[in-house]
């Protein structure tokens, strides 16, 4: 690939998207992308592409770039006389180099970003965090067992939904899991709140500090609160969470909708607003059901 071709990142990214479109048979969108060099080609076909890509996406950067090369050749054959922005000599193809590239060169950085980006793309197709495929069967079995306990009970699960260790038992208002940090990395932790309350400050500090995949709090009245790690990971450390709480509280103090919910006693909705904003600042995704 010509060095000049890589200088235009927008064009390079266009052809990566072109490759994916071509792979999944959306030829009209691919042609539109070639002719206009405009990402709007994706918008008109996004829904169909997303559904196909979720089940068919090949997560190897090498294959993605091979499809890009095929798409370029197809485009050249279909558009006689047209000169594409990334045209090079006839023997040049848009494929991953087999020889080592110079350290910190544009070529090396480009392929690093391509390799890293394919995982993010797959996770985004899965619906945000990529946890939609997590097997919650055993988690929910434990939650059904501990939901009505008078003391807080907590349980860790690994990334495949299997139990890690025994259930940890606290008192009526708290549970101390500070000694179990080794279980927390990339784990799901669920526990009950006998008082029907939402997450505590300590819950948010520990989910970040332990680098958990998700923390869940369940209540006797049937609610399940969830704070999951976002695609890009937690943005802060555990010690910064109290400051985040104060900033969000200050922001919502002047929020008309939040104050209306609070005055009307619609606390579930008020807490949803609060924890959604906390999630934005700490790098998580909040849900309640």
* Residue extents of the structural domains in the chain: 3-125, 137-288
- Is the per-residue pLDDT at 129 higher than 60? no
Please report, rounded to a whole number, the percentage of residues in the chain having pLDDT higher than 90: 53
Residues in the chain, overall count: 289
- Is the per-residue pLDDT at 87 higher than 50? no
- Is the per-residue pLDDT at 191 higher than 80? yes
Report which of residues 237 and 61 the model is more confident about.
Answer: 237
In the prediction, which pLDDT does 200 show?
96
- Is the per-residue pLDDT at 82 higher than 50? no
In the prediction, which pLDDT does 68 show?
47
- Is the per-residue pLDDT at 250 higher than 80? yes
Mean pLDDT of the region 197-224 = 97
In the prediction, which pLDDT does 105 show?
76
In the prediction, which pLDDT does 280 show?
97
Rounded to the nearest 5 percent, the helix, strand and coil shares of the chain are 50, 10, 35
Mean pLDDT of the region 261-277 = 96
In the prediction, which pLDDT does 120 show?
55
Classify residue 272 by burial, with Cβ atoms within 10 Å: 0-12, 13-18, 19+: middle
In the prediction, which pLDDT does 185 show?
95
pLDDT band at 134 (very low <50, low <70, confident <90, very high): confident
SS3 category, 8: coil
Contact status, residue 125 vs residue 158, Cβ threshold 8 Å: no
- Is the per-residue pLDDT at 60 higher than 80? no
pLDDT band at 256 (very low <50, low <70, confident <90, very high): very high
Please give the backbone phi and psi of residue 147, each rounded to the nearest 5 degrees, phi first. -55, -35
A 10 A CB-CB count for 266 gives 12
- Is the per-residue pLDDT at 4 higher than 60? no
SS3 category, 288: strand
**How far from 143 is each of 90, 131, 186, 217, 218, CA to CA, in Å?**
62, 18, 19, 9, 7
CATH architecture of 137-288: 3-Layer(aba) Sandwich (3.40)
For 99, the token pair is 């020889």
Closest CA to 111 of 64, 158, 159: 64
């Amino acid at each position: 690939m010509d060095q000049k071709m890589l200088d235009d990142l927008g064009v390079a990214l266009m052809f990566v998207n072109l490759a994916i479109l071509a792979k999944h048979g959306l030829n009209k969108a691919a042609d539109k992308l070639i002719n206009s060099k405009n990402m709007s080609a994706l918008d008109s076909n996004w829904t169909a592409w997303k559904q196909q890509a979720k089940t068919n996406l090949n997560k190897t950067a090498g294959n993605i770039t091979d499809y890009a090369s095929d798409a370029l050749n197809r485009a050249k054959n279909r558009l006689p006389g047209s000169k594409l922005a990334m045209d090079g000599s006839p023997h040049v193809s848009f494929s991953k180099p087999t020889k080592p590239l110079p350290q910190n060169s544009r070529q090396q950085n480009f392929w690093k970003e391509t390799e890293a980006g394919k995982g993010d793309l797959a996770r985004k197709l899965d619906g945000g965090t990529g946890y939609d495929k997590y097997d919650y069967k055993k988690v929910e079995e434990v939650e059904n067992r501990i939901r009505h306990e008078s003391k807080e009970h907590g349980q860790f699960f690994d990334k495949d939904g299997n139990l890690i260790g025994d259930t940890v038992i606290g008192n009526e208002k708290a549970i101390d899991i500070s000694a179990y940090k080794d279980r927390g990395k990339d784990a799901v932790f669920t526990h009950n709140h006998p008082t029907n309350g939402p997450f505590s400050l300590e819950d948010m500090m520990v989910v970040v500090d332990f680098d958990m995949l998700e923390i869940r709090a369940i209540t006797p009245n049937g609610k399940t609160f969830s704070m999951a790690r976002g695609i890009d990971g937690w943005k802060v450390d555990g010690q910064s969470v109290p400051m985040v709480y104060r900033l969000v509280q200050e922001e919502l103090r002047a929020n008309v909708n939040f104050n209306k919910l609070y005055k009307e006693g619609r606390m579930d909705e008020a807490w949803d607003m609060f924890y959604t904003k906390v999630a934005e600042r700490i790098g998580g995704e909040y849900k309640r059901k």
